[in-house]
Amino acid sequence: MIEHRPFAGLGKANHGWLRANFHFSFANYHNPSRVHWGPLRVWNDDTIDSGTGFDPHPHSDMEIITYVRKGAITHQDVLGNEGRTEAGDVQVMSAGTGIAHAEYNREPGETTLFQIWIIPNKRGVKPRWEAAKFPKGDNAGKLVVMASGREQDKDSGALYIHQDAAILGGTLPAGTVVTHELGDRLAYLVPARGKVKVNGVVLDARDGAAIRDEKVLTIEALEEAELVLADLPRAP
């Protein structure tokens, strides 16, 4: 089963400096049928103006993964971490017992990103932040595990998250076909750009696909595409 969620039907918010699109209930957008997908709680498609960003604010007991699509985001937190994550790269913050952080676009143009929140399978962990580079050129024609807490990925170089889940990404030249073994698990897939076909269902750029009961995903790039895939357990 693949539930196609067109970009036009996502929740919307326009704060001037921030244009946000919500795949799941968030802030003032509430859709009782889109609260979470397994442990996946938030998938926001954000556009942030130059010289603006999210001022310091707190979180606890959440795994927050940021995939930058264009531009870069600069992170600061109360632990003293500071880092710049640019397009194609990923940062992970385990909020754990509690952390306050800020995220700013200090680039000359707008920054676009996916903000992904996953409910952890362990509460009260020590807060942490880290980032890693996943150059899009190196990910051409394949899916690369960028963040994971799955046992099979512990030595893959992926950023660690406290959940039996994984975030994969890749760029697919037009005509490329890749497969992903899902088994009895759930998935959520979003093309950051381009058009793809997933087990016969066509997704345009920034559409979402909530997937269950599909043992294997066959993903075909109908045009040059960049995509992000969450591989998830069924229980939060």
Q: What is the pLDDT of residues 12-57, one digit of tens each?
A: 999 999 999 999 999 999 999 999 999 999 999 999 999 999 999 9
Rounded to an integer, what distance in angstroms lies between the CA atom of residue 130 and that of residue 187?
24
Candidates 195, 187, 191; CA nearest to 230 is 187
* Amino acid 36: pLDDT: 96
**Tokens linked to 176:** 């490329």
Strand partners, 151: none
Nearest CA-CA partner of 196 in 183, 188, 205: 205
pLDDT (tens digit per residue) in 111-147: 999 999 999 999 999 999 999 998 777 778 999 999 9
- Residues listed for the chain: 236
Helices (H), the chain: none
Give every CB contact of residue 162 below 8 A, 6+ residues apart in sequence.
Answer: 63, 94, 120, 121, 122, 125, 149
Cβ count within 10 A of residue 4: 14
CA–CA separation, 68 vs 103, rounded Å?
A: 12
Letter for the amino acid at 124?
G
What is the per-residue pLDDT for 156?
85
